[in-house]
Amino acid sequence: MLMPLSAPPPASPVSLPDDGMPLTGGPALFDVPAARRHVVPTARGPVLLRPVTPLDTHAVDRFVRGLSPTSRFRRFHSAVHRLTDRQLAGVVDVDHRGRETLLTVAGSGAAARVVGMGQYLVQSHPADSVDLAVVVDDDWQRLGLGRLLLEATVDAARESGFRTATAYVQAENRAMLTLLRGTRLPMARSNEGAIVEVLIDLTRIGTAAG
């Protein structure tokens, strides 16, 4: 488990202003599905793929701040430098069903750091659909982590009983669009101006190719 080093304790959800995003709290935060943990080889050495816990708060904050401005903009669709306390709590405060965050962690002990993150979040309408997003540290791109995180996040959403997953990708983000096409997941695309909406049919995974 990646432990925060010389970091303040995670922000308490009850101390954060309510922006309409419900937080989980309680034991579910640490009820991590063991099947979602894998050690994966890469050209730069093995990485650990695993679900997030609140102990990762500082590491996730450092990961987001370490992304290039372009990578942050493509992931968050705005020119953010770092996440607010509330946004950060939403990343690490997950029940591993309606909301999940998967991390890829390189190194171990004091040298361990987050190098990739995949997320899904259940939509209010319809309730059987989720939004998903993936981002990889700039120095760790083009090593297969994007595909690993995308497929693992999609699998986690499917295992949790959701029927569809939607990725909102900027039209100029050719790398992400190419990644989505390369997975051969069953999907449909539509353009909304500068945003490409990619709808993945989770019910057809394993029975049809995209």
| Residue 13 pLDDT level (bands cut at 50, 70, 90) | very low
According to the model, what pLDDT value does residue 15 have? 27
Write out pLDDT tens, residues 161-206. 999 999 999 999 999 999 998 888 999 989 878 999 999 999 998 7
- How far apart, in whole angstroms, are the C-alpha atoms of residue 178 and residue 146? 11
In a domain, 47, yes or no: yes
Residues 6+ apart with CB under 8 A from 76: none
* Percent of the chain topping pLDDT 70: 82
CA distances from 152 to 50, 120, 122, 176 (A): 10, 11, 16, 16
Residue at 15 is within a domain:
no
Work out the burial of residue 109: count CB atoms within 10 Å of its CB; fewer than 13 is exposed, 13-18 middle, 19 or more buried. exposed
Instruction: Tell me whether residue 144 is in a domain.
Output: yes
| Residue 1 binned pLDDT confidence (cut-offs 50, 70, 90) | very low
60 domain-assigned: yes
Q: What is the pLDDT of residues 34-68, one digit of tens each?
A: 889 999 999 999 999 999 999 999 999 999 999 99
DSSP states of 11-63 as a string? PPGGGSPP-S-----SGGGG---GGG-EEE--TT--EEEEE--GGGHHHHHHH
The closest of 138, 160, 153 to 185, measured between CA atoms, is 153
Measured distance CA(7)–CA(127) in Å, rounded: 36
Instruction: Judge whether 5 lies within some domain.
Output: no
Residue ranges making up the domain that contains 61: 34-204
Provide the β-strand partners of residue 129. 164
CA torsion through residues 100, 120, 3, 34, sign: positive
Domain assignment of residue 22, yes or no: no
Does residue 13 fall inside a structural domain?
no
- What's the whole-number mean pLDDT along residues 107-118? 94
Q: Which helix (H) or strand (E) holds 202?
A: none
Q: 22 pLDDT band (50/70/90 cuts)?
A: low
Q: Total domain count for the chain?
A: 1
The CATH number assigned to the domain holding 45 equals 3.40.630.30
Alpha carbon of 141 to those of 42, 146, 175, 182: distances in Å? Answer: 11, 7, 10, 16
Residue 83 has pLDDT above 60, yes or no: yes
pLDDT of residue 25: 56
14 found inside a domain: no
Q: Residue 131 pairs with which residues in a beta bridge?
A: 121, 166
